[in-house]
Amino acid sequence: MREINLPEFPWDTLAPYGDTARSHPDGIVDLSVGTPIDATPEVVQDAVRESANSPGYPPTIGIPGLRETIVEACERRYSITGLTPEMVLPVIGTKEFVGTLPTLLGIGSGDTMMIPELAYPTYEVSASFVGASTIPADGYTRVGPQRLALTWINSPSNPTGRVLGIEHLRKMVDESRRRGVLLASDECYIDLPWTDEVPLSVLHPDVCQGSFDGLLAVHSLSKRSNFAGLRGGFVAGDPAVVKRLTETRKHLGFLVPRPVQMAMIAAYGDDEHVAVQRELYRARRESLRATLLQAGFTIDHSDAGLYLWATRGEGCWDTVGYLAERGILVAPGSFYGAAGAQHVRVALTASDHAIEQAVSRLTS
């Protein structure tokens, strides 16, 4: 039996700082994780309740209307044209998909994946699980002629909130196709832009030149629709790859529960709740960002998504300790790669009261 060498779960190392933050007289303000805390929209809750009586197995490809609704949402919200239902596959939350994609593609020992230099840890975990190696890079210029089995990009980025511009995306698409490597784009924060630079999907016609060949885009409802507890998202793109993934997932029984699929139809069919939620996050972001700047922090990137990528020009664990003494828990940048050694990731996923508490503690 092959031993699976998974890295230590990073949040376990944060526990002592959590204890320090909890010892604050007014309790902890936890800004370390990106777990939504606002209510799941009523339109989604209604769909779950109305479909709770679901005694049969749901189809892997999605119940009637789901993929069509996703196609319509992709054109309406992200200007993706030419997508058809056959190019879409619902998934059981996108962490599951990111974590299992190398397995489903048959990637294994001796293969190499390229992941972002600062990255959500699950990209590397997915490679470790199948015995593959990773190259951390944000483009092909540092990779050379090495053969790659899969390339991941993430825009807007977790943890940095960086948005990749159209020229960068085009170069990634062109070079991936030239090399014959599948390019997977994690776009889970695409609905939360904060600047004039609107994030583009890798499937946008100006990026992919009207062809989805060699491309996958991964989208999640967790952040935009407070759907994290329900687990739902989708992958779309290259029809041959989507077909292969569909067949494999059928064999493995990767089925999105029918009530969740009904909730996905409701969520992707309604834009109003997305706008409401974004404004909640905008207010929290503006308050916390201004306070961190006033307290001597520098905020880098953070142009989209649910995090502020902040630094005091010192080691990230020193900053984690500094904030923990004030009852505020954040994630050290080193969780996401060596390049994050002087940054911390500050989440916006806290209540208005919690954000007010953090602001008060940093300004007093």
Question: For 270, how many CA atoms within 13 A lie in the half-sphere containing its CB?
Answer: 22
Measured CA to CA, the distance from residue 307 to residue 320 in angstroms comes to 15
Residue 136 near residue 117 (C-beta atoms within 8 A): yes
Percentage above 90 pLDDT, the chain: 94
5 inside domain: no
For residue 128, give both structure tokens.
């470790």
CATH of the domain at 264: 3.40.640.10
pLDDT digits (tens, 9 = 90+) for 302-320: 999 999 999 999 999 999 9
User: Look-up: residue for tokens 């999105």?
Assistant: 256
**What's the average pLDDT block by block, 10 residues per block, for the chain (364 residues)?**
71 92 97 95 98 96 97 98 98 96 96 96 95 94 89 98 98 97 98 95 97 98 97 98 97 96 98 98 98 98 98 98 98 96 98 98 93
pLDDT score at 1: 66
Residues 108 and 85 in one domain: yes
Measured CA to CA, the distance from residue 193 to residue 233 in angstroms comes to 19
Q: Helix axis angle, 66-78 relative to 258-268, nearest 10°?
A: 30
Residue 21 near residue 337 (C-beta atoms within 8 A): no
Residues 263 and 292 in one domain: no
Final residue in a domain of this structure, among 233, 250, 270: 270
Which range marks the domain in which residue 278 is found? 10-39+273-363
Domain total for the chain?
A: 2
CATH of the domain at 335: 3.90.1150.10
Q: What torsion do the CA atoms of 346, 349, 351, 352 make, to the nearest 10 degrees? A: 60
pTM of the model as a whole: 0.96
Measured CA to CA, the distance from residue 207 to residue 164 in angstroms comes to 11
The residue type at 250: K
Q: What torsion do the CA atoms of 57, 266, 43, 285 make, to the nearest 10 degrees? A: 120
Residue 33: exposure state from Cβ atoms within 10 A (0-12, 13-18, ≥19):
middle
**How many C-beta atoms lie closer than 10 Å to residue 43's C-beta?**
15
Final residue in a domain of this structure, among 202, 235, 270: 270
199 inside domain: yes
User: Look-up: residue for tokens 């090399």?
Assistant: 179
**Coil, strand, or helix at residue 47?**
helix
The residue type at 130: V
162, 221, 226: which is closest to 195 by C-alpha? 162
Residue 31 near residue 346 (C-beta atoms within 8 A): yes
pLDDT digits (tens, 9 = 90+) for 58-88: 999 999 999 999 999 999 999 999 999 999 9
Which residues does 196 contact at the CB level (< 8 Å), separation at least 6? none
Final residue in a domain of this structure, among 254, 270, 286: 270
Torsion sign across C-alpha atoms 183, 93, 36, 80: positive
